[in-house]
């Protein structure tokens, strides 16, 4: 639980662009350009997709920590597993989608890989929770 919580918070702090864009738009000073050097809105840039994938992965880690606290809740554990799978698929899509424009981005690759690892453990915890309910 603590590792998911800690890594989620670290990712939020180390990759602040998307959080700044949505939570503190006046302090968002990043600029982006297209291949011709013309100004490009952040949300139209490939970097937005990369930041979105990493940000959502950080949120799934925080939700995973919550699911570990809610040990007996099948709804919470199942919901977090579904969200994690969705974020894995999103990060795979980001890797493939931005590869031609800005090359392979390591953070979405890591988010997808660690997401799969996390989903396997979430599934195992969900199964244990379901088996525990069946014994009552």
All structural domains of the chain with their residue ranges: 2-134
Statement: residue 134 has pLDDT above 60: no
**What pLDDT, in 10s, does the model give residues 26-65?**
999 999 998 899 999 999 999 999 999 999 999 999 999 9
**What pLDDT, in 10s, does the model give residues 84-109?**
999 999 999 999 999 999 999 999 99
Which pTM value belongs to this model? 0.90
Q: Whole-angstrom Cα distance, residue 99 to residue 108? A: 11
Question: Which H, E and C letters describe 6-41, residue by residue?
Answer: HHHHHHHHHCCHHHHHHHCHHHCCCCEECCCCCEEC
Statement: residue 1 has pLDDT above 90: no
Q: Which two tokens stand for residue 4?
A: 């998911």
Q: From 66, 67, 60, 61, select the one nearest 129 (Cα to Cα).
A: 67
Confidence of residue 74 (pLDDT cuts 50, 70, 90): very high
Instruction: Supply the DSSP string of the chain, one letter for each residue.
Output: -HHHHHHHHHHHHHS-HHHHHHH-GGG----EE-TTS-EE-GGGSHHHHHHHHHHHHHHHHHHHHHHHHSTT-HHHHHHHHHHHHHHHHHHHHHHHHHHHHH---HHHHHHHHHHHHHHHHHHHHHHHHHHHHHT-
**pLDDT given for residue 72 in this prediction:** 79
Statement: residue 136 has pLDDT above 70: no
């Amino acid at each position: 639980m603590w590792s998911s919580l800690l890594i989620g918070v670290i990712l939020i702090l180390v990759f602040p662009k998307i959080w700044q864009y949505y939570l503190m738009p006046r302090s968002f000073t990043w600029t982006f350009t297209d291949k011709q050097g013309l100004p490009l809105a952040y949300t139209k840039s490939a970097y937005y997709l990369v930041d979105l994938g990493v940000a959502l992965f950080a949120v799934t880690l925080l939700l995973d920590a919550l699911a570990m606290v809610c040990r007996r809740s099948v709804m919470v554990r199942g919901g977090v597993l579904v969200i994690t799978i969705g974020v894995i698929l999103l990060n795979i899509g980001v890797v493939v989608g931005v590869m031609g424009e800005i090359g392979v981005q390591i953070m979405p690759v890591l988010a997808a890989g660690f997401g799969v690892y996390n989903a396997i453990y979430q599934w195992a915890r969900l199964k244990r929770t379901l088996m525990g309910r069946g014994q009552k």
